[in-house]
Structure 1
């Protein structure tokens, strides 16, 4: 690409090796979650939330289980101020939920912030100022000492206003644009703020290290976090928080590695809504933990309902392939994937106590409110016999023989390919019935009776071209006798009769289902299915269906010749 020379690495590695995080295999417990949907997320919307929409969104976050929720920047606008006052005055904040507000390190903004917080039972006051090289040089044109003074003076003002405001307050500081700041300088400014606030076991302080703009690979951020964690003053009384954005598409990776490196708290949003490419997606992070057997301490058991409220309020659309929440993330169209998934589910039926390890499906969709029907296996021209057969079995109770599944799979794929569309399960069922079930043309089965001596003798009543006749046949079993009667009467030759039967376990439980496959002289298998309350009737109907498919496919004279003699 052109102009690549204008770009360089604008981040800073720690001055010493910080790689202890790399020796850890996985995250063992959930972090403290702080939703910033109502601040970062809201300011990123084309049309920001109204007051009533904010109140509804706040309740959604409470219902999910967030214990810390950033509700806005109350000094920034009257809408933000009014929202915070509504939460406090209408007593909408549960006792176990702490609200968080954002403020710049400027006295009139800090004063307005605490005015808005009056009467809050407990709140986090989030103080920030920008510290990066780019911000210092281009925006503020200030020295490092000038930037430190902004942070320290703000920390003192927050302390002063908290002391004279009703309520209980936790202090939080962010060196905004941390990822573009020299790590030693970020440490110095955070420690200077900690020196002001003097955290204790009873009054801990939050130091938040944001990926305001993502500049590096995730492992660099992890090393930065580890260095800060190892060198912060009064570390045992500091809650180390991270706030990743997603400019490079690595927000989730940044977060997970940062947790390994000493992070204890994450600020993010539902489905990653936020400025530019967004904040880190808490849904993905939480369910990633869940997939490793770690309780995320958030309730995402009904993702579809959460998604519906989110999309309605934000006017945003979650991408169909978005992890966990997207409509297609559990869906397989590929034939080989469908076959593996179907066999995986079948295996779980016999091993219900085993850990989840179904191929291609990272967690059980049912655990987050998704359905197997329409969510897991969907059918188009790329699908295979395994997935198509699985859907037919799961939804309608038809367990086709393997070779019949293959034959049916080709039929379904041909329809999908010809019509250039995905097929719904009802359409697949219609193809199955039309292709195989109780076929009565051109040879219609009416009745039968048997006589048993050394062999079975059948007397079979049939109709063809509106003409009724009774034919006879002998065989070593009843179905064999009927088969011989048909072959003799109509001069049909086939071999290798395959037979299978089972009770229909879905729908009408009184029905029996039979499948018959017969191989013609050219080696082609023709299949039929029979459904009836009586198992013998179902078997005979399956045989007639297979024979009718054979005579139609081979263009036997009885198909087109209405004068074909029955006598």
Structure 2
């Protein structure tokens, strides 16, 4: 590509190597989660949520288990201010939930923010100022000392107004654009703020290190976090928070490695909504932990319903390939994938295992409210016999014999290919019924009788061209005798007669389904199927179905 020379790596590595995080295998416990959907996410919407919509969204976050929720920038607009006042005055905030508000390090904004918080049971007041080289040089045109002065003044003002305002407040500071700030300067400015707030074990503060713009590979961000964690003052009394954005598509990786590197807390949004490419997706983070057997302390057991509400309130859509949440992320169209999943699911029915190990499915879709039927395996022209058989078995209880699956699988693939579309379970069922079940032309089954005297003698009444005819045959069983009667009357030659059957439904009017296969004179194998409330009649109808297929080939 042209102009590559205009780009440089605008981030800063720590002055000493920080790689202890590489020795850890996985995240062993959930962080403190803080949803910023109602502030960072909401400000990025084409149409921001109304007060009523924000109230509904807030309740959804509470129901999911969030204990910290950033509810807005109350000094920014009357809607934001009114929303916060309604939460406090109408006692809509559960006792175990802490709200968070954002403010710039400017006195009139801080003053207005504390006015909005009067009477709050507990609130985090989050003050920030931008610290990066680009922001200092291009936006504020201020020196490092002047940038520090802004942060110091903001920290002092938070102490001042908190002391004057009824409520219970915790302080948070962010060096905005941390990833573009010299790491030593980030440490210096954060430590200056810590000195002012003087945190204790009973009154901890939050230092938030945002990837306001993602600028590096994830391991660099992790090294930056580890360096800060190792060198912040009063570290035991500081909650180290991260707020990653997704500009490089690495928001989840940035966050996971940051947690390994010492972060205690994560700010993010559901499904990654936010400015530009969005914030880190808390759903993905939480379910990644879940897939490793770690309780994320958030409840996504009804994920489809959460998605539906999220899309209605935000007017955003969850992409079909969004991890865990997307409509297609557990779906297999490929024949080999479908076959492996179907066999894996069948294996689990007969094996007792402590851990989930089904091929291609990192977690059990049922655990997040997804259905197997028509959701995990879907059928198009790329699908195989295993997937088609799985759909029929899971949705309709039709358990095709292995030998029958290939022919029907190819038939379904051909129909999908010619129609250029995915086939629904209903369409697959209809194809099976049309192609195999109770075929009654040109020879229709009417009735049968048999007698047993050392061998079976069968009398089978059939209808051909509207005329009823009775044909007779002998065999070593009822079905064999009926088969021989049809062979002789219709002058058919076939071998390797095979059939099996099973109950299709349960109850007094239950139906049985039979599958009948024969090898015709030309060597080709044909299959038919019969359904009836009488198991014997279902087998006879299956035989008629396959014979009619031979007669009309």
Judge same fold: TM > 0.5, yes or no: yes
1:22-37 matched pairs, under 5 angstroms: 22-37=22-37
- Corresponding residue SS for 1:121: strand
The Cα offsets for residues 151-183 of structure 1, whole Å up to 9 and x where unpaired, read as 111111111111111111111010100001111
When normalised by structure 2's length, the TM-score is: 0.98
User: Which stretches in structure 1 are left out of the alignment for 5+ residues?
Assistant: 554-567
The Cα offsets for residues 178-218 of structure 1, whole Å up to 9 and x where unpaired, read as 00111111111111110111111000010100000000001
- Corresponding residue SS for 2:393: helix
Corresponding residue of 1:318: 318
What is the distance in 1 between the residues matched to 2:506 and 2:364?
22
- Corresponding residue SS for 2:120: coil
CA shift at 1:394, angstroms?
1.1
Tell whether 2:450 aligns with 1:440.
no
When normalised by structure 1's length, the TM-score is: 0.96
User: Which stretches in structure 2 are left out of the alignment for 5+ residues?
Assistant: none
CA shift at 1:453, angstroms?
3.1
Corresponding residue of 1:556: none
Corresponding residue of 2:175: 175
Asked if the contact 2:505–2:512 (Cα under 8 Å) also holds between the matched residues in 1, the reply is no
The Cα offsets for residues 345-396 of structure 1, whole Å up to 9 and x where unpaired, read as 1111113553111111111111111211221111111111101101111111
Comparing 394-403 with 25-34, greater Cα deviation is found at 394-403
Corresponding residue of 1:265: 265
Alignment: residue pair count: 553
CA shift at 1:123, angstroms?
0.4
Corresponding residue of 1:520: 520
Asked if the contact 2:374–2:391 (Cα under 8 Å) also holds between the matched residues in 1, the reply is no
Corresponding residue of 1:348: 348
What is the distance in 2 between the residues matched to 1:190 and 1:130?
12
1:134-533 matched pairs, under 5 angstroms: 134-505=134-505, 510-533=510-533
Tell whether 2:71 aligns with 1:71.
yes
- Corresponding residue SS for 2:318: coil
What is the distance in 2 between the residues matched to 1:58 and 1:506?
46
Comparing 477-486 with 58-67, greater Cα deviation is found at 477-486
What is the distance in 1 between the residues matched to 2:532 and 2:358?
35
What is the distance in 2 between the residues matched to 1:230 and 1:506?
66
What is the distance in 2 between the residues matched to 1:164 and 1:507?
74
What is the distance in 2 between the residues matched to 1:507 and 1:139?
76
What is the distance in 2 between the residues matched to 1:506 and 1:82?
58
The Cα offsets for residues 293-350 of structure 1, whole Å up to 9 and x where unpaired, read as 1111111111111111111111111111111111111111111111111111111111
What is the distance in 2 between the residues matched to 1:512 and 1:310?
45
- Corresponding residue SS for 1:363: coil
What is the distance in 1 between the residues matched to 2:178 and 2:116?
28
The Cα offsets for residues 446-484 of structure 1, whole Å up to 9 and x where unpaired, read as 112223234322111111111111111122222222222
What is the distance in 2 between the residues matched to 1:189 and 1:506?
72
CA shift at 1:523, angstroms?
2.2
Asked if the contact 2:502–2:513 (Cα under 8 Å) also holds between the matched residues in 1, the reply is yes
The Cα offsets for residues 71-126 of structure 1, whole Å up to 9 and x where unpaired, read as 11111122211111111111111111111011111111111111111111110010
Corresponding residue of 1:563: none
Asked if the contact 1:395–1:506 (Cα under 8 Å) also holds between the matched residues in 2, the reply is no
Comparing 129-138 with 490-499, greater Cα deviation is found at 490-499
- Corresponding residue SS for 1:357: coil
Cα RMSD between the aligned structures?
A: 1.3
Comparing 217-226 with 489-498, greater Cα deviation is found at 489-498
